[in-house]
Structure 1
Amino acid sequence: MELLTNNEVEEVIKKLGYTKSLNWTLSEFSETLLGYLSEHLTLTVEVLSAKCKTERIKLFIKCLPRFDEWKTRYIKELSFFQKEYVMLNDLFRKIEQGTSKWRPRCLLVREDLFVFEDVTELGYQMPSARSTFELNQLKACVISLAKFHAQSYIFEEKRSKELNRPYRIWDEYSEYLKHPERCSSWRDAGRKAIIDYLKVYSKQKDNPKFISNIESVITTLYDMALSLMKPSSKYRNTVVHLDLWANNIFLKKDSDGNTNAMFVDFQMVIYCSPMLDLSSLLYFNTNRGLRESYTGALLDLYYEKLSEELSAAHINVNTIMDRVTFNECYKDSVIFAIIQASLSVPFVVMQSKTRDNILREPDRHQTFYEVSRSKEFIEIALQDDYYRYRVTDLFEEIVDRYVIQPDEYK
């Protein structure tokens, strides 16, 4: 059975302004794994333009894995694909892009498959997952993030006026904007991995505070981070992406030298404090030195762009979140960011060949996801100096902040 029908391909190309498809083929989008769960393909279509000329266009397909039963079952149990289906087929049709694009255009939505414009054909590139972001790349991401978040607020404010009562996206989409409980085994394995790794590589491993506190503190931090993944009663919530690591971001320099960013893969979206996105963006994609130097400036940039986007819709940013509250919101989100990064960074900074070997073995990746990955992280750090630097840089900040000198960071 074909993954797509001829009628579906015709539907897609007509949305792009073409009159007829002449031929189409499917191929692997990349030989390297882009994400850990879904399958990614290229749809190449020969089309007949309005001027009766033949052109070739490339589109991007994300679909459920066709040849890995465990991954398909796992995705369905977590409702990841269902989340993204509802976002693309319903909520994002209502939420506008705003003053500039922060996600690719979606051309076909099925419960098992999505077709998007291929942003690499527009000059966008995926940054290296192994390297940290440059400042101009971070700024581009922060600007797009502010515009993405602003559209949730704008939609809520418009609906509130239409209904003549306060409206929140959570009211209508709570079923799809929760973090799945099925992820507990993934997080438990991650918690164990960070403790085991630090017992080997932390410079504080012989410190009495470390020895007596490391397991209880890390466990508490993981519980606190999980509690933040729910709608906040303290701050104005928004739809957050939650997974802004390099492979879910595309960047492009325009003719003026400015960098623009678009986000993909909305399968983990939840409804909560917006700063979970901003803080985790930084912790996923930077080192400690850059965060200490530039976080303040990036917070300023986010708030400025959020204000501009809201102002264009005649909304005062202070009715959403004033600047003092915004700063408090970010500070409160750091626990989530540093813990979420501890789950992701050890994966994303692996050599691609190493990661692919692990995740392409059906008998191995289930254990790796849900049982234990400590051994792999410790061994890779022994063999790969850069990996050890990136992972230890992140994990050691957890030790400094919450184990050795917790009062300093209150």
Structure 2
Amino acid sequence: MISKEECEKVLNAYNNKTNFEKYTITKFNSVLGFLGDHSLLKIYYSECNIKKNTTFFLKTFPKPSKEHVDYIKKLGVFQKEALLYSNLIHHFQTYFDEAFSPKMYLTDNKEFIILEDLNRLGYENIPGKSLDLNHLEAALKSLAYLHASSIIFEEKRRELNENYQLIDEFYDEFKEVSFSPNEEHPRNKLSKNILKAVLDCIETMPEFKIYKQQTSKNLIEFIEKDVYELIKPSKRFRNTITHCDLWSNNAMFRKTKNNLDCILVDFQFARYIPSVYDVLLTMYLNLSYKDLNDNFKRLLDFYYECLKRSLEKHEIEIKMIISYPEFWECVDFYKRLAIVEATWFGTIAFIGDDLGQKISLDEDIFREFYYFNRSKHLLEEMKRNEEYKVKITDLLRHIVILFK
């Protein structure tokens, strides 16, 4: 998986006044994600003749089944995330005292990424599949640091080149992996499969059934005509790095005396588009229908203020990046894309561990779930998993309202 020499490099980056002794790797039992395997790397060393050990988070290219491996290779998400950590996030972390992403110690850009062990630092995931309002606000604050870092990075380079954009220098880091117009691409097949599952699900719900025909027409048209342009960098609003996959598995929290700190993890779906989209997607993914409606403006205003303060630390006025009226224009512009992608993600992110294990380990179930009949699994999961049913129903309610 990784070599002794690589572990020595990690230890040297962690503390260069030590003597390496040995290392162990322990794989986590639970399914933390479908696009990487996760383990605890423990390194034993001596310092001033005192024996010690420390731990790191090891993310490796997953190999649960041939079908799954082929899927991840075609997406290129593992390499994409490694490049982001190496070439951008490493720089972004220097702009603020507050941590918003884990420190990376080593990657080969192909098979492994070694990060600091956030559990050792007191961070943990919250129970359940969604963030509550308090944890969501902490996550939005960290998103603001991430987005501001992207702007600061660009502004420094625009002193020499006024047209500088991240995407021009770091194209591979922002490779689109969620949607593809290429009919042979796995995500194109996946999207069609999810679309059918969503429409089948709407048809089974009495309160939505009357809107099925119009919703279906408008949603199909949106997917075919609008999505592929909307996911590209905007020519109208300021673009930044965006996480684009922020739910409870991808945020870790630590409560201190005065703060609730949040670290963002898993950047495999990152894009270069306006930051508002990231915020909307995060809100749709995590909040119930009622909580979102009750707190929609307040949370967006909270994020805008966080972004404003983050930029001010580097003497950048937010109105020069995106004015408050432009911010709300951007909200309206990206709202439909955000709920579509939240729903697409939700059909897999919120499934129970039992189904998750089956998808990871059984090639036939993987193939059926991803490419041919997600409807079957979605409807069965809604019958046996009340939390899943509630989350999917809330997302579908948004879909119907925006597309009916």
Say which is worse superposed, 174-183 or 119-128, in terms of deviation: 174-183
- Deviation per CA, 1:256-315: give whole Å up to 9, x if none: 2x2111111111111111112100111111111111111212112211111111111111
Per the alignment, residue 406 of structure 1 pairs with none
1:269 matched to 2:267:
no
- In 1, the alpha carbon distance for the partners of 2:63 and 2:293 equals 44
- Deviation per CA, 1:349-394: give whole Å up to 9, x if none: 2222232223321222122112220011111212233322221121
Please say if residues 178 and 230 of structure 1, whose CA atoms lie closer than 8 Å, have aligned partners that are also in contact. Answer: no
- In 1, the alpha carbon distance for the partners of 2:161 and 2:376 equals 57
- CA shift, 1:52, in A, is 2.6
Say which is worse superposed, 235-244 or 211-220, in terms of deviation: 211-220
SS in 2 for 1:34: coil
Per the alignment, residue 168 of structure 2 pairs with 171
Per the alignment, residue 312 of structure 1 pairs with 313
Q: Structure 2 counterpart of 1:328, which letter? A: E
Q: Structure 2 counterpart of 1:365, which letter? A: F
Which residue among 132, 135, 138 is the counterpart of 1:137? Answer: 135
Which residue among 175, 199, 203 is the counterpart of 1:199? Answer: 203
**1:177-256 → structure 2 map (5 Å cutoff):** 177-180=174-177, 181=180, 182=185, 183-205=187-209, 207=210, 210-223=211-224, 224-256=226-258
- CA shift, 1:46, in A, is 1.3
- In 1, the alpha carbon distance for the partners of 2:254 and 2:165 equals 33
Per the alignment, residue 383 of structure 1 pairs with 384
Structure 1: tracts of 5 or more residues without a match: 404-410
**1:3-402 → structure 2 map (5 Å cutoff):** 3-17=1-15, 18-28=17-27, 30-49=28-47, 51-99=48-96, 100-111=98-109, 112-130=111-129, 132-161=130-159, 163-180=160-177, 181=180, 182=185, 183-205=187-209, 207=210, 210-223=211-224, 224-256=226-258, 258-402=259-403
- CA shift, 1:211, in A, is 4.4
- CA shift, 1:396, in A, is 1.8
- CA shift, 1:344, in A, is 1.6
Say which is worse superposed, 148-157 or 75-84, in terms of deviation: 75-84
Query: Per the alignment, do residues 97 and 198 of structure 1 end up closer, same or farther by CA in structure 2, a change over 3 Å counting?
Result: farther
- CA shift, 1:116, in A, is 0.5
CA RMSD after TM alignment: 1.7
SS in 2 for 1:204: helix
TM-score by length of 2: 0.93
Q: Structure 2 counterpart of 1:56, which letter? A: N
Please say if residues 76 and 82 of structure 1, whose CA atoms lie closer than 8 Å, have aligned partners that are also in contact. Answer: no
- In 1, the alpha carbon distance for the partners of 2:316 and 2:124 equals 33
Query: Per the alignment, do residues 15 and 202 of structure 1 end up closer, same or farther by CA in structure 2, a change over 3 Å counting?
Result: farther
- In 1, the alpha carbon distance for the partners of 2:291 and 2:242 equals 23
Please say if residues 97 and 148 of structure 1, whose CA atoms lie closer than 8 Å, have aligned partners that are also in contact. Answer: no
- CA shift, 1:93, in A, is 3.3
Structure 2: tracts of 5 or more residues without a match: none
- CA shift, 1:98, in A, is 2.6
Query: Per the alignment, do residues 202 and 252 of structure 1 end up closer, same or farther by CA in structure 2, a change over 3 Å counting?
Result: farther
Please say if residues 129 and 245 of structure 1, whose CA atoms lie closer than 8 Å, have aligned partners that are also in contact. Answer: no
- CA shift, 1:186, in A, is 1.7
- In 1, the alpha carbon distance for the partners of 2:387 and 2:310 equals 39
Say which is worse superposed, 301-310 or 152-161, in terms of deviation: 301-310
Query: Per the alignment, do residues 349 and 165 of structure 1 end up closer, same or farther by CA in structure 2, a change over 3 Å counting?
Result: closer
- Deviation per CA, 1:36-88: give whole Å up to 9, x if none: 12111111111213x33222211111111245333222222111122112212
Please say if residues 83 and 177 of structure 1, whose CA atoms lie closer than 8 Å, have aligned partners that are also in contact. Answer: yes
- In 2, the alpha carbon distance for the partners of 1:246 and 1:177 equals 23
- In 2, the alpha carbon distance for the partners of 1:96 and 1:349 equals 30
SS in 2 for 1:334: helix
Please say if residues 229 and 272 of structure 1, whose CA atoms lie closer than 8 Å, have aligned partners that are also in contact. Answer: yes
**Alignment length, in residue pairs?**
393
Q: Structure 1 counterpart of 2:170, which letter? A: Y
Please say if residues 236 and 273 of structure 1, whose CA atoms lie closer than 8 Å, have aligned partners that are also in contact. Answer: yes
Please say if residues 40 and 60 of structure 1, whose CA atoms lie closer than 8 Å, have aligned partners that are also in contact. Answer: yes
SS in 2 for 1:203: helix
- In 1, the alpha carbon distance for the partners of 2:123 and 2:88 equals 25
- In 2, the alpha carbon distance for the partners of 1:95 and 1:211 equals 45
